[in-house]
Amino acid sequence: MLKAESIGTKELVFQALGQITPITILGGLILGAAGFALGSTPLAFLIGMGAVLLAANTVYQFSRIVSHAGGYYAYVAKGMGRSAGIFTGFQYVLYQVANLGLEFLIVIWGFSKGLNYALGTNLPVWSGIIYMGAMTVLSFYFMSRGIKPSLRLVMFIGLIQLAAILIISLAVIGRAPDNTFTAFTPQYALGGWHGVFLGFIVGSYLSFAGYGSVVPMGEEARAPSRTIGRAVLYVVLLAGLVFVLGSYAMTVGYGISNMTGFVNAVIPGLQVTREYLGVVGIYLYLLAVTFISTYGTVVGMGTPLTRVTFALARDGALPAFLAKTDASGTPYNAVRFTFAVSVAIAALTGGLFWYFYGFYTGLYFAWAIFATIATLGTLLIHILSNTSLSLLSIASKKWALWLLVPTATSAIMLVAIYYSLLGITMPFLVAPIVVLAWVFFSIAYVYARRTAIGSSVSGELIQTATE
């Protein structure tokens, strides 16, 4: 079994921040919102933080009554039944495997490109494979040793990331000629408020994806009925403040009226950092963005995936060997299995697209497809969790926080799904096809295994918090 009371609030906070990877606001996360919000991008991120705080309500409410390694699938099972819960668990597996595939490929895609641009080197495009391979082995090693040592390193890396964002952002803001609070108005967005909300839907709102990755750590957290909810709240607030600060720095640093060229620039965050901080900024950016963040991200995604895999096996939905743990409480077979599957899928997908479209275009297509799968997956999981809480509100009569807020959040998520799919073409159309196919497969699988999982996700396995 998993080792109870292994981690506290601070470890949970940095684990979730590892998946969110806030440092990429300086060059990656900002791009989705900036394409529509332009010079009003900081406003889109401010609105995003408010909306995600509403979405986090579901996790906060459930964390007070449910503590389970299955995470969201235990939440859904609590209100919608065991089959719906196991179905949700399978969607979570797809979501995190896609996240890991995205991380592997985007690092490989940008590694030599970033170093060659910043340092004038001439590294071959495939050099990123060596680096990503080394970081994957490092992540696997620490995760195999147990949750506590792996998250200690994530905390250290997270603190460096936050310091880098603070230093770079304040340095840029302090010297940028465009400093103005009009960046927090719709004045510069494409079509005014329309552009702001498009930037919010397709960029800033989805940038917070991963704040709920602490949920599957419920059985290993100290006083989970308190720490899980607090960790989610702290993560959203901390990430939101970092996103607003970082997006404002990049916007005023690049030029609030010039943001139409930001999305198509070559590593725009690095350009801005180099312009305002020089050589020191280049090395700080490369250290925080290119090097150390990779470990934190892989562990931030991989840890909850291994716990959900473990829980699915323990509950009879996957082979029992995946539920075995060692003396430290580490589900070692689940760790090995999830790493092997994630690496294999990323390598196969990346290799095929590289072969047909070339390195940069092919890997871009591949990681964009993984990103879309992850986006659709997380929205579906949260909608199911919101629905589960809403159904429980009928018996509890907690109408505001258990019915109205989750319902409003689901409405926002449905809009996000609509805009995520609007005008999508091949090869990106592969993403919703994969999600739809996985949904049908999951339904068929759960139905076929209904006898084995009939009473698995119930009673003592969905642990009502008593702390």
Residue 391: inside a domain, yes or no? no
Q: What CA dihedral angle connects 253, 257, 260 and 261, to 10 degrees?
A: -50
Confidence category of residue 442, pLDDT binned at 50, 70, 90: very high
Confidence category of residue 466, pLDDT binned at 50, 70, 90: very low
> What pLDDT does residue 454 have?
59
> What pLDDT does residue 203 have?
83
CA distances (Å), 308 to each of 50, 101, 214, 217, 445, in order? 28, 18, 11, 9, 17
Query: If you average pLDDT over residues 367-391, what whole number do you get?
Result: 92
> CA triplet 38, 42, 47: central angle to 5 degrees?
110
Confidence category of residue 306, pLDDT binned at 50, 70, 90: very high
Q: Residue 329: in which H helix or E strand, if any?
A: none
Confidence category of residue 358, pLDDT binned at 50, 70, 90: very high
Look at the chain and report how many structural domains it folds into.
1
Q: For residue 231, what are the domain limits?
A: 9-381+427-461
> What pLDDT does residue 231 have?
94
| Residue 467 pLDDT > 70 | no
Residue 109: inside a domain, yes or no? yes
- Higher-scoring residue by pLDDT: 328, 357: 357
Query: If you average pLDDT over residues 127-145, what whole number do you get?
Result: 93
| pLDDT tens-place string over residues 82-118 | 999 999 999 999 999 999 999 999 899 888 888 888 7
CATH code of residue 352: 1.20.1740.10
| Residue 459 pLDDT > 50 | no
Residue 419: inside a domain, yes or no? no
Residue pair 236/41 in contact by the 8 Å Cβ criterion: no
Query: If you average pLDDT over residues 436-459, what whole number do you get?
Result: 80
> What pLDDT does residue 457 have?
58
| Residue 186 pLDDT > 90 | yes
> CA triplet 77, 80, 85: central angle to 5 degrees?
35
Q: What percent of the chain has pLDDT over 90?
A: 58
| Residue 458 pLDDT > 70 | no
| Residue 340 pLDDT > 90 | yes
Q: Of 139-153, 287-301, 308-322, where does mean pLDDT reach its minimum?
A: 287-301
Tokens encoding 205: 């709102």
Q: Average model confidence (pLDDT) for the chain?
A: 89
> What pLDDT does residue 429 have?
92
Whole-model pTM: value is 0.91
Confidence category of residue 332, pLDDT binned at 50, 70, 90: very high
Query: If you average pLDDT over residues 434-463, what whole number do you get?
Result: 76
Residue 88: inside a domain, yes or no? yes
Q: Of 222-231, 318-327, 451-460, where does mean pLDDT reach its minimum?
A: 451-460
Of 331, 362, 332, nearest in space to 349 by CA: 362
> What pLDDT does residue 453 have?
67
Residue 388: inside a domain, yes or no? no
DSSP conformation letters of 50-115: HHHHHHHHHHHHHHTT-B-TTTHHHHHHHHH-HHHHHHHHHHHHHHHHHHHHHHHHHHHHHHHHHH
| Residue 423 pLDDT > 90 | no
